[in-house]
Amino acid sequence: MRAKLKNLVPLAALAILAASTSWLYLGREPAASAAPVLRTAGNDIISRGQYLARVGDCVACHTAANGQLFAGGRPMPTPFGNLYVPNITPDDETGIGRWSADDFHRMMHHGISPDGSLLYPAMPYASYTQVTREDNDAIYAYLMSVPPVKKKNREHELRFPFNQRELLLGWRSLYFKPGEFQSDPGQTVEWNRGAYLVKGLGHCTMCHTAINALGGSSNAKAFEGGMIPNQNWYAPSLTSNMEAGLGNWEIGEIADLLRKGASHRGTVYGPMAEVVYNSLQYLTDEDVRAMAVYLKSLPQKQESPPPAPKDRLVAPEKMELGRTLYSAQCAVCHGANGRGMPPAYPPLAGNPSITMASPVNPIRMVLNGGFPPGTIDNPRPHGMPPFSHILKDDEIAAVVTYIRVAWGNGGMPVAGQAVNDLRKLLPE
């Protein structure tokens, strides 16, 4: 992220909150990155380990903003207190300098530290357990090669009983099953490589799978999307073409989005922008294509748009206010017809990310604005300015409503209270 279930529930929820917060803390500065590297896994074990650490996005959690590489210290805010990410440089006293390769593999594969303590699932060992021993050894060799930093780890600031690690035994019994990735003999080598990266080091299901009341997730609902706990950001379904399903995408379009952060189908913002910035842009051509092949193969739900409910009707004055604001503030980039100018300015007409049942993402974009990541292949991305300082709640609700129902879009109207609830989360 006690034998009684009532205490297990909030602890499990905390564990998952910590996991999602670890790299989805909206509005924070991007993590400091290591020196740019070529898109290659390298032939020696250290170069290959560096590449794999990039795939796993280790820097996002273990490097504080403006901090030293992998020296930890980044806070993960949760409703139950702060978790602090540890130092994983090879310093003997404060880092992992005294760890053996076996210690490191045990941590990655079983979620257990060398002293026997259970790791909070903020460390995504539920996904990393699929990583092979050979790849774990390479990552370990790379981490042992980076400059050691003497920086003592901060104690977590969690309230009782959430600071009792042994209580994680209950969560692990329900939601954690160690096991290395097994290739599917009925699939291609490329598909299996993509599945390995997506399910293992990429840990994509951590956000794109809904969390249940116990803070766990069901494999049966993998990639079906859901709200990210404590972040008020919706990770869309990858198995529904009414959300972010990839069934109608070309492999090249998926690969572009993963590595560039922008394609003719869409652009990444918010949490996914950080993943692309820190990790995916560095993948080799072969690996990013393999991930695209696997993601493209995810079974898509057979869905038909639901009939328009009566409450989809919008008051004429609200629709006119939204149209006026859109014409004044948005049309210059997204076009009067909502078709945009992709990939620089994404389309709004026919864009399922605009019309999803949850309006959280479009509201946050209008409030906060945002930039796609500056990547090797898209070094100067076009950004979205924030409007929280010039538009009132009812005005933002009107313009978001407009883009959700105009041009044949099938979204639902948005109320001013929904905007206000998200505005309260903005930093002062």
**What are 149-165's pLDDT values in tens digits?**
999 999 988 888 778 88
Give the pTM. 0.83
Q: How confident is the model at residue 20 (pLDDT cuts 50, 70, 90)?
A: very low
Residue located via tokens 């393999």: 290
**Quick one: pLDDT at residue 15?**
35
Q: Are 9 and 255 in contact (CB under 8 A)?
A: no
Q: Please list, in sequence order, all residues whose beta carbon lies within 8 angstroms of the beta carbon of residue 51, skipping any fewer than 6 positions away.
A: 37, 40, 41, 42, 282, 284
- Do 64 and 159 lie in one domain? The reply is yes
For residue 35, give its domain range: 5-178+187-296
Q: Respond yes or no on whether the N-terminal peptide bond of residue 343 is cis (omega within 30° of 0).
A: yes
**Quick one: pLDDT at residue 311?**
53
The CATH number for 400's domain is 1.10.760.10
**Quick one: pLDDT at residue 117?**
93
**Residue 137 reports pLDDT greater than 70:** yes
Q: How confident is the model at residue 9 (pLDDT cuts 50, 70, 90)?
A: very low
- Do 320 and 261 lie in one domain? The reply is no
- Segment 6-10 mean pLDDT: 34
Query: What CA–CA distance (Å, rounded) separates 349 from 337?
Result: 7
Residue located via tokens 């901060």: 154
Q: How confident is the model at residue 238 (pLDDT cuts 50, 70, 90)?
A: confident
Q: How many domains does the chain have?
A: 2
Position 211 in a domain: yes
Q: Which of 296, 327, 358 marks a domain boundary?
A: 296
- Do 44 and 121 lie in one domain? The reply is yes
Q: Which of 246, 272, 296 marks a domain boundary?
A: 296
- Do 274 and 342 lie in one domain? The reply is no
114-128, 228-242, 372-386: lowest mean pLDDT where? 228-242
Query: What CA–CA distance (Å, rounded) separates 164 from 50?
Result: 34
Report percent pLDDT > 90 for the chain: 55
- Do 34 and 136 lie in one domain? The reply is yes
**Residue 69 reports pLDDT greater than 50:** yes
**What are 43-54's pLDDT values in tens digits?**
899 999 999 999
**What are 401-422's pLDDT values in tens digits?**
999 999 989 899 999 999 999 9
Q: Are 383 and 370 in contact (CB under 8 A)?
A: yes
Query: What CA–CA distance (Å, rounded) separates 235 from 260?
Result: 19
Most confident of 114-128, 169-183, 185-199, 224-238: 185-199
Q: Please list, in sequence order, all residues whose beta carbon lies within 8 angstroms of the beta carbon of residue 151, skipping any fewer than 6 positions away.
A: 68, 71, 72, 73, 87, 89, 91, 94, 95
Identity at 319, one-letter amino acid code: M
Position 305 in a domain: no
Q: Are 244 and 236 in contact (CB under 8 A)?
A: yes
**Residue 27 reports pLDDT greater than 70:** no
Q: Are 143 and 43 in contact (CB under 8 A)?
A: no
Task: Using alpha carbons, select from 334, 335, 348 the residue that is nearest to residue 385.
Answer: 334
> Cα 184 to the chain's mean position, in Å?
26
**Residue 113 reports pLDDT greater than 90:** yes
Position 304 in a domain: no
**Quick one: pLDDT at residue 312?**
63
**What are 139-148's pLDDT values in tens digits?**
999 999 999 9
**Higher pLDDT residue, 168 or 6?**
168
Q: Which two structure tokens, joined as six digits, stand for 66?
A: 């403006």
